[in-house]
Amino acid sequence: MENFLTKVEKALTLPNFDWKAAQTKMGIGGRVMDRPRGMSGQGRRGAVVLLLYPHDGQVMIVYTLRPKSLRTHSGQISFPGGKIDAGETASEAAVREVWEELGIEADEIQLIGRLSKLYIPPSDFYVEPFVGWCEKRPDFRPNPAEVAAIIEVPLNQLLDPATRQTEKRRFPAFDNAERDVPYFAIEDYKIWGATALMTGEFLERWKNILSD
């Protein structure tokens, strides 16, 4: 897999890559990309990991389904991750959160690089996404308080254009306007919102490498 990891590193360091355009392809119309000026306080900081690993001859990405009991983003699909604690670096928080949510030891994860920092308006978080690698499929031990289900998706499936779909939704907590919401259709799941934006950026970077 050394050649694969070299390609991933190259994808994450592409010169002049338009990351905003890449994210916007999976963004909801009118989405706020930056924290509005004039908001009081400072946005909170979080870190997540887009975790890759080999399984049955394919490269997989793992997502988690958040329990409906959680206060924020309940019932949504996300990458493992969470708040950066005081005294932690973003990478330390990312690896810790993977351990707390999925039971994967820190020494099993190789952080390859980063995606672009993302602002999430509903929770006022700036999220720093990392891309990580495990040499083999992890022995997942999900924390039921934070993970309702583990969703393993082949990278090639996400690259299939048929996986990208759109539906109409209203957001009563905001202006209740009907908007087009892009998502990745994976079995009975819909990967949308910030997780779709981060996934979309990674896929656009990866497609640049595949076209070389």
Note the pLDDT tens digit of each residue in 157-190.
999 999 999 998 877 656 667 888 999 999 899 9
- pLDDT value of position 44: 82
- pLDDT value of position 17: 96
Q: What is the pLDDT of residues 80-107, one digit of tens each?
A: 999 999 999 999 999 999 999 999 999 9
Please determine, for residue 4, whether its predicted confidence score (pLDDT) is greater than 90.
yes
The pTM score is 0.91
Please tell me the CATH code under which domain 2-210 is placed. 3.90.79.10
**Inter-residue contact 55 to 86 (CB < 8 Å):** no
Dihedral sign, Cα of residue 8, residue 9, residue 13, residue 14: negative
Q: Report the percentage of the chain scoring pLDDT > 70.
A: 86
For 29, 30, 121, 167, the CA distances from 177, given in Å and listed in that order, are 10, 10, 16, 13
- Model confidence at 69, pLDDT cuts 50, 70, 90, reads low
